[in-house]
Amino acid sequence: MSLKKHIPNIVTLLNLFCGSIAVIFAVYNNFVAAAIFVFLGIFFDFFDGLLARKLNVQSPLGIQLDSLADMVTSGLVPGVVMFKLLSIAVDTPYFIESSDVWTSSMHWTGFKISWIPLIGLLIPLASAYRLAKFNVDEDQKSYFKGLPTPANALLIISLPLIMEFQNSDLMNATIVNKWFLIGMTLVSCYLLNSHIKLFALKFKNFGFKDNAVRYVFLILTMVLLVLLHFAAIPIIILSYIILSLISESLMKK
């Protein structure tokens, strides 16, 4: 029993490990590698809760540990990515010119900084607030209130992937526009802490009637990914919100 109860926590720590590696890659502008480790982290994040339920070893410790891991993988990483994208958009390199790295780091000598990229760090702040609210909100069992941090992380991390793989001058020009990125950051922070009820991808059974919106969403997701590749991710997130609003409206009727 003692070993079994730690299995979900180990999976959660793998999420945190992947998120920590993703931070390092994002800092060095390797967004593709950062995205890979974010995807892995979100994969572990999905299975830690599933394992805890299957093994019947849910615990308050696991809940807190899960949020701490999410804060890095799905909160800090997208914040760093947005910070770096905004740095590119305003053409502000962040570097230290002196050979005495320790002295320069401590005294900020030769460190060039612009306030605009710092706007991207609102994402970790909004993510932390969202995760804290989730931990104390007992209503969010069968649905989410506001966009989950993993979905938001996928939304933000998709931007450099679109630039890398879609080969579209229009998309690239849009993504490196500072006003687009600032707007995306503010929308992201709002969605994270909005009161919009979004359905959870948890299947209590596999009947179509009880899970119609989930099946429609999954089919739509697969079709969009095949057709649009990484450019599909923002559309998938938007579809998730729209389908949730429709589902909520139908339930009220």
pTM of the model: 0.87
Any residues with CB less than 8 A from the CB of 241 and at least 6 apart, and which?
A: 147, 191, 196, 198
Average pLDDT of the segment spanning 132-143: 78
Average pLDDT of the segment spanning 192-217: 80
Average pLDDT of the segment spanning 18-33: 96
Domain 4-195 sits in CATH at: 1.20.120
Domain boundaries, the chain: 4-195
The 10s digit of each residue's pLDDT in 73-112 is 999 999 999 999 999 998 855 443 434 444 444 445 555 6
